[in-house]
Each structure stands twice: as structure tokens, then as C-alpha cells.
Structure 1
Amino acid sequence: MHIPTSDEIKARREVLGIRQAELAKRAGISQSMVARIEAGTVDPRVSTLTKIIEVLNTAERSRVTAAMVMHTPVFAVGSTEPIGVAIEMMDRNSISQLPVIDEGVPVGCISESAIVNALDDPVHYRKEESRIRDFMESGFPTVPPDMDIETVVRILQHNHAVLVMESGKVQGVITKHDLIPLIVER
């Protein structure tokens, strides 16, 4: 187990943009204690050091944004394309859903589930002229790049994916799979 030095604590606090008083309040210690720990004039108890590290770890996680987790490029299809295009793209890229984007605007999504559910519908089953719009579901929610990851996690609990948009343009996508590294890092 690595025990951070006083310089490491101070540097990490500063990188996270936390003032000594804020760190002290969150850790349940005095601001003067934080100052003395950072100055190296006092050796804190393990319990005090643990509180400080927990506060810093929590602050670091809360600074994770959608832009830091999203992946690019965003594979997408248009609503008028044949359904085979979506199936081929999902298969080739090992993904289970795609945003449907027409002229740069997200209009819906297509998922493996929607395609499989359509197998029961003889109108769509094996129909060569079927288009993506015939299988399309509601679109993915959108978030700005600076959205905190905790909010994105809550949104993903009820959606296939989240599109990250800035200035009206899709910048990236986040799926539940993209969150797994965050869990492992904790």
C-alpha cells in the first residue's frame, strides 16, 4: 500500500482544485491540521490520512466527465439506409446498437433487440427493401461533454447509450460497456 507523502497530498489537492479548508471540512479535521500535514510538520494518524485520501479519491471520481469516457468515432446509420447496413456495421464492430443520424441530427436508434423483435413481424422479416426507419427506436439521450459521469451512469440505467453532443454535433458515444473501466479503477 502506497502512503502518500505530504507533497503528494498537496499536489493532488491542488490538481483537483480543492482548498485546504474544503478538504478539512470534508475530512472532518481542522484546516490547520491539513496545512501542517502538507507542510510535513506533523505525521497524521492512519485514520486521519485515510479520511483525506477518501476525500481526494471521491473528488477525483466526481471530476470524471462524459468527454473523458466517450469513445469515437461514433458509428451511425441513416434512417433511409437498408437494414442490412446496420446489421453489417453492428457485426463488424461488435456493437449491439447504433444511433440513427440524418443530416447530422440524431433521430433514433437501431438495436439488435429491435431487429430480433421484428422477426415475429412477417412484414419486415426477410424483406429486402426494409429500411432502418422500419426498425428504429427512440433516440439516445444527449449530454454535453462536461456532464459529470454520475449523471451519465443514471441515464444509462434506462437507455442503451448516451450521445455526447457539443454545438449541435455528435462528438462521441458512451455505452454501459464504457463504464466498466471506471468500476475496475475504483
Structure 2
Amino acid sequence: MHMSYDYYFVSAMPIPSPEELRPLRLKAGLTQSEVAKRAGVSQSLIARIESGKVNPRVSTLLRIYRALESYLEDELTACDIMSSPVVYVTPDTELVEATRIMWERGFSQLPVIKPETRENVGTLFDDDVLSAFIRENARASRLTVSDVMSDPLPLVPCGTKVRVVARMLSRGVPAVLVEQGMKVVGIITKSDIAKLLLKRL
């Protein structure tokens, strides 16, 4: 049986609906003409799709969405996709309490921040907790975060492009903290990048 190009894409991946085009275009701050130019189609086609007057080919719809996706990747910043506020512990937090926070929240790491200066001084990973309990046994209940924490997570300015953050995460960095005005205002993990990609599908 011969499969058309469009059928292949329908079978292989979720396709955005025509109804999603206008909200995404407005989010990107683009006019119909600008989207049309980027996608290599006519402005009138964009208008007809948005008004529901035409049911476009899947290949055409994908071309339009990829043009928007490319634009958004160039424009979105760390502050646009970060999780905020940041859940953190201090160096003096008891290890048992920090472990409880990680377990209840489902986190694999917690930033360690000095409350007086808001300085990013370390990271508590689940591996740090596990190693402490194996190494110290019963004494682990008397430890604080400062006794076992690892190096701090990297900081990026609020205006850092998402593609730069994604590149950092792809190179083994578990998470990135976002700062604005010398203050940590958010955190980005691979899950945040994944959520961004899912929104585009």
C-alpha cells in the first residue's frame, strides 16, 4: 500500500491543529505576513487557516509551525520557561529535613542558598543524601546540608536564550539557576525544556 507524505507524518507524530495557529502566532508577536514569509506561504493562506475557511495539508501546517518554533527558540529566554519560586535549603538545614523536602517534592536536587546574602553556595543531590546515610549510618541524622553538599549549580542571567540553556543541560549539567538583579529567581531542568517541546507539538 502506498502511503502519502502527509499520512506518514500523521502516523509518526502528533500534529498541531489549525486552531492553535493564531494563539501561537500572537504569542510570538508576529503578523500573518511575517509568519507567511518565514514559512514560505502566502499571507492569505495564513488568514484562511486562522479563520477556519480552509483545511490545510499536514505538510503545510508543519512548515508553518516549524517556522514559528524556530522564531520562538530564538526569542524565548530563561525567565520565560523557568520554574519559580525556587525551593531551596540553607547550609544549616538539617539533612533529614532537606531529605524530607526532596522526597515530598519529588526533586533530585536542591540549591543551597545562604539566607543572609542570597548567595548560591552549593547543591544537595539525592546521591549526596544516599552517600551520607551509607557512610555515616545513624550519625547521618545529626548532619546538616553543609556537611554533604556538592558544588553549586551554574547561574545564568534572566535574558539568556533558551537554546543556550538547552545546550548546557545537554552537556551533563543537571539544572541551571536563573538570576535577576543579583537574586536567584528561578530554576530550569531538563523537564522544563521537555515541557516547552511538548507545548510545540
TM-score interval, normalised by the smaller of the two chains: 0.7 to 0.9
Q: Of 35, 50, 56, which residue of structure 1 is paired with 2:68?
A: 56
Contact kept? 2:175, 2:190, Cα under 8 Å: yes
| Distance of 2:83 and 2:162 partners within structure 1 | 14
Paired residues, number? 173
Q: Please report the RMSD computed on the Cα atoms of aligned residues, expressed in angstroms.
A: 3.3
Aligned to 1:113: 127
1:115–1:23 distance in 2 versus 1, CA, 3 Å: same
| Distance of 2:109 and 2:32 partners within structure 1 | 43
Higher helix share: 2
TM-score when normalising by structure 2:
0.68
Unaligned stretches of 5+ in structure 2? 1-15, 49-53
Is 1:171 aligned to residue 185 of structure 2? yes
Post-superposition offset of 1:119: 3.5
| Distance of 1:86 and 1:117 partners within structure 2 | 14
Aligned to 2:103: 91
1:48–1:129 distance in 2 versus 1, CA, 3 Å: closer
Correspondences of 1:1-186 after superposition (within 5 Å): 2-3=17-18, 12=25, 15-16=28-29, 24=37, 27=39, 51-102=63-114, 103=116, 104-121=118-135, 124-127=136-139, 128-157=141-170, 158-185=172-199, 186=201
**Aligned AA (2:146):** R
What is the aligned-residue identity percentage?
Answer: 27
TM-score when normalising by structure 1:
0.73
Unaligned stretches of 5+ in structure 1? none
| Distance of 1:39 and 1:23 partners within structure 2 | 10
CA deviation digits over 1:70-112, x for unaligned, max 9?
1122111111222112112112222121000013110010011
